[in-house]
Amino acid sequence: MSSSAPARSPQRPASVDLRVNIGSLTLKNPIIAASGTFAYGVEFAHLVDLNRLGGIVVKGLSAQPMEGAGAPRICETASGMVNAIGLQNIGVRAFVADKLPLLRRYNTAVIANVFGHTIMDYVEVIRVLEDADGLAGYELNISCPNVERGGIEYSTDPALTSAVVAAARAATKRPLWVKLSPNVNMIGVSAKVSEAEGADALVIANTYPALCIDAHNRRSRLGSTTGGLSGAAIKPITMRLVYEACRVVKIPVIGLGGIEKPADIAEYVLAGASAVEVGTAHFVDPRASERLVSGLEMWCRDENTFEISKLRGSLQR
């Protein structure tokens, strides 16, 4: 009787390396929960395995607590939403006392989003955070109004961009990401200025100014009249901004705008982004970021892409 050949064990699928470098930071994957859409992170811990995420950017922090805008604050639109939250937050000191100790339990990069109406405000928030453990870096939101200069946004004026980034850089040795406004003629200008003043990475971009009207009652659908448009509708526009910025700076760029599925992440990476932030998708599915981690791994395997970082900037022209 002939002996049968030994049974072969099934081949294990090749592993996918999703690690990315953002300056001196190494993230386990390129998927980061965006500021303002994931609270302070700990509020989602009963729904999401925070350890699976590449990082979390907490809700924007100001020197003093802020109540934010009046209701209604969110309006659904075609392929997106318009919001006017008004930067409501508990203030930096309450964050350090109440939220940060809980975040230290998780193995994920925690980035503090910092904003202010004056340069002194930005520096004060960073000064308070500098004495606290558990932060991987800062995201400098320079897309909010500057009271000292009549409402001009810091990132739409190169001189103001230079001043606020330089002041923040001098205040910390931690990694500094600068979140730029899309409301500029040439994103490359603010990108290069931020890089020159010591930014470790750029986040592109914030929401787009928008207005939603209720024709029946002839009023705005938001309490503060205008707001910021986000969601799938803005992805092609933001993609172009990421692409343009990546062509003029050497520091990493993080894409933010309209990410809902793994292919969206791949598109941003092809355009030059090193990582992405997921925002509006959390309002549809609080588990969106965690779901995208698994989805991206499957996408990479299907595309025979076993190191996500090798995909970066490989858009063919």
CA–CA distance, 19 with 308 (Å, rounded to integer): 7
DSSP string, 263-296: HHHHHHHHHT-SEEEE-THHHH-TTHHHHHHHHH
What value does the mean pLDDT of the chain take?
94
Catalytic entry in 75, 144, 246, 300: 144
For residue 72, cis peptide bond before it (omega within 30 degrees of 0):
yes
Dihedral sign (CA 188, 193, 195, 199): negative
pLDDT surpassing 50 at residue 55? yes
**What would the pLDDT profile of 200-246 be if each residue is shown by its tens digit?**
999 999 999 999 999 999 999 999 999 999 999 999 999 999 999 99
The reported pLDDT for the residue numbered 145 is: 65
pLDDT surpassing 90 at residue 252? yes
317 part of a folded domain? no
Buried residues in 280-300 as b, exposed as e (16+ CB within 10 A)? bbbeeebebbbbbbebbbebb
166 part of a folded domain? yes
pLDDT surpassing 70 at residue 10? no
Average pLDDT of the residues in 275-302: 98
> Which of helix, strand or coil describes residue 237?
helix
Task: Give the pLDDT band of residue 152 (cuts 50, 70, 90).
Answer: confident
**What would the pLDDT profile of 63-73 be if each residue is shown by its tens digit?**
999 999 999 99
25 part of a folded domain? yes
Average pLDDT of the residues in 9-36: 88
The reported pLDDT for the residue numbered 128 is: 98
Task: Give the pLDDT band of residue 317 (cuts 50, 70, 90).
Answer: confident
pLDDT surpassing 80 at residue 14? no
Per the structure, the complete domain to which residue 157 belongs is given by 20-311
271 part of a folded domain? yes
Relative to beta strand 253-256, strand 201-204 is parallel
299 part of a folded domain? yes
Say which CATH number the domain at 295 has.
3.20.20.70
213 part of a folded domain? yes
The most confident of 67-71, 89-93, 140-144, by mean pLDDT: 89-93
Q: Let me know if 212 is a catalytic residue.
A: no
More confident: 7 or 217 = 217
11 part of a folded domain? no
Give burial (CB, 10 Å; 0-12/13-18/19+) of 306: middle
pLDDT surpassing 50 at residue 2? no
pLDDT surpassing 90 at residue 4? no
15 part of a folded domain? no
Average pLDDT of the residues in 41-67: 97
Number of domains into which the chain is organized: 1
Give burial (CB, 10 Å; 0-12/13-18/19+) of 15: exposed
Task: Give the pLDDT band of residue 9 (cuts 50, 70, 90).
Answer: very low
